[in-house]
Each structure stands twice: as structure tokens, then as C-alpha cells.
Homo-oligomer: A and B are copies of this chain.
Amino acid sequence: MPFLVAIAMALLIFLQSPQELPAASILMVQAQKTFDAIPDTPPNHPENPLTPAKVSLGKKLFFDPRLSASQMISCNTCHNLSLGGVDHQATSLGHGWYTGPRNAPTVLNSIFNIAAFWDGRARNLFEQAASPLENPIEMASSDPAICNILISIPEYGHLFEEAFPDSREPICFTNIRKAIAAFEITLLTPNAPFDLFLKGSEDAIGSEAKRGLALFMDKGCAKCHMSMNLGGNGYYEFGVENKPDQKYLPPDDIGRSAILKTIEKKYVFKVPSLRNVALTAPYFHSGSAWTLEEAVEVMVQSQLGITLPPSDRQAIEAFLESLTGKQPEIDYPLLPRATEETPRPVH
């Protein structure tokens, strides 16, 4: 009989009005079923095993502006590791002062995304790395041009030999991208307050963030923004319930539909990760929402088709704030010295 009373009480707690905060332990269990904590160490990648030599080389390449035609733009220019792995531009500035069509996503925790780019057109970081290097309005270089630069720098020759001891031709576009991807795989931000909560620390996030987490799961945000990266693992139409203003969804960018050559569903994009989202404004593929408040409001309307009172949206923002993890500590690399054979910048 006391057992049935306990069951009834638990049910009562569970079915209480949504304004009420579920007991933290129930919330924690529910969250643990939906999300995963960022690990402290990078995952294994059998097809591109991480070795210290390869990661160290990849870091140098990531920071080396000589990989661009102008020799002024590095991977880090748009994926700035001092700024949460982004550039705080609506869409990035690149070669020739041209602006690209989409917002640069953070490189942090990007290994846990299903694919790269807003339209998922690169299967992984290795495939991704080629695109900005060769895009004429980004780094504007090319496979042979980059190889020529690196081959002209003897110290890079040694570093590639150490990183790729089994390669007959260590400096090649494949290995360049493998090394960059290897470094990027290490760019994790573990131990966000929310991760500590997921790992059992009830007090790691405050009551407002907890209420936001409950709303985030109950209202449907977590249907897309789930798992390790709270997103990054699927594709959805932007405007599945209500088409957002074209400020947020420019009509000429149909997203993944252009890749899949489908026309029945336009404006499909990869669900972005919400990890470190408080650091990575502006938001959306268009980089058009400059605050979390605005982004949450647009999402609630366009993706959930509901309205939420400001207090609930603020609670969700408080939860999103709890997703900021420990940023990678980077020793700024000294880059190998050019020689007189090194090709010169092209503007």
C-alpha cells in the first residue's frame, strides 16, 4: 500500500503543470537519455589515427596564412580559436574582400557532427578542409599551389615525414587535409556546466537553466538539437512550421536541396550544434540573428510553430548559456620558415 502511494506521488510530480520544475533527478535522467557529455579526449579515428606529430602539424597548417593565395588568410581567420572557433561575421570575409554566402560554423566539437557545412556536402572534416582552401572567395588557393608552398619550406618536409611516415609523398593534398582534420578533431570543449549536470552534478546548472532545459525537451527543441552536440546530426527544413522572414532565410539559398537535387523540400539545412552557442553569434546559415534571444524566438516560431512567453524563452537562453565548455588551450605555433623558393602572395 505505501508502494502504491509512492507511485501515485511520483506520477503527480511527473504530471504537474509545465511551469513547475520537475525534480532535478527526474530532469537529469530525462536529459541523460537525450544528450551526451562532450568527452575529455578526442575519439579514435581508425581512418585518420591521431598522432602527436600529425596533430602538431595540423595545428601549424590551421594557423598558417600561407595556405591561402594572399598568404593573409588562415583556417583560424574564420574559425578563430580565440573567439569560440568563429569569426563573428554574418558571413565570412575572404579573398578579395568578398563575403561568402553562409555563416562560418564553429570548428569546436565539429568532429561530432554528422557531416560538414550547412548543407552537409562534405562527409567529414577531411573532406571539408579542401573547400575553403580552394574556394576563390575564401582562401583562393589550390591543391598544387598549396603543395608547392609547403614543398618549398624544408621544415614542413620534415614535419610531414614525421606525421606520415608511411607516405611515399608526404606533402600532398590528402595528407594536408588529414593533418588539419586531425588537429580539428582535438578541438573539444568538455565540462560545460551542462556536461557536469549530465554527469551527475545536480548543482552544475542553476534553476533557470534547469527550467530552460525542461522546456527545451518538452517543447520539442531537443527533437533536432539532441545527442552530444545538441544538433549537428540531422537535416531539417528551416521553416518546417512557419516560414521565417527572408532576412533569416534568403530565398536564393535553398540549402541541402541544391546538393540532393530535390525540389519537393526546399531550405533544408543541417541542424547546427548548440555547443558553445553563447559564444558563436551571429546565428543561422545566414548569420542574421545577432542574439540568442532573437534566435530562440525565430526557432520557436518557425520550427515549433508555437509562441512562448518571454520568461520561457529566457529560461531556454539560460540553458543555452550552460553549453559553454572549457575552450581548448593553444600554444600559438611558430611556423616553419619560408625560403626564396616559396611562391609569393597573390592578391
Contacts and interface: CB of A to CB of B under 8 A. Distances in A.
Contact of A278 (B70, B334, B337): B337
A278 B155 CA distance: 15
A3 interface: no
Contact of A293 (B291, B340, B345): B340
A93 interface: yes
Contact of A72 (B77, B279, B332): B77
Interface string A331-347: 11111011010001101
Contacts of A290: 340, 344
A335 B65 CA distance: 20
Contact of A330 (B97, B331, B337): B331
A89 B72 contact: yes
By DSSP majority rule, is chain A's interface helix, strand, loop, or mixed? Answer: loop
Contact of A65 (B80, B99, B345): B80
A83 interface: yes
A270 interface: no
Nearest to A345: B89
Contact of A97 (B84, B96, B337): B96
Nearest to A66: B88
A307 interface: no
B97 A82 contact: no
- The range of chain A's interface size is 35 or more
Nearest to A294: B340
Interface in A148-168: none
Contacts of A330: 331-332
A327 interface: yes
Interface string A82-114: 111001111001001101000000000000000
A129 interface: no
A176 B99 CA distance: 29
Contacts of A329: 331
A81 to B, nearest CB: 6
Interface of A: 63-66, 70-72, 77, 80-84, 87-90, 93, 96-97, 99, 278-279, 281, 290-291, 293, 327, 329-335, 337-338, 340, 344-345, 347
11 contacts: A66-B88, A72-B87, A82-B332, A82-B333, A84-B337, A89-B345, A90-B345, A99-B347, A327-B334, A330-B331, A331-B332
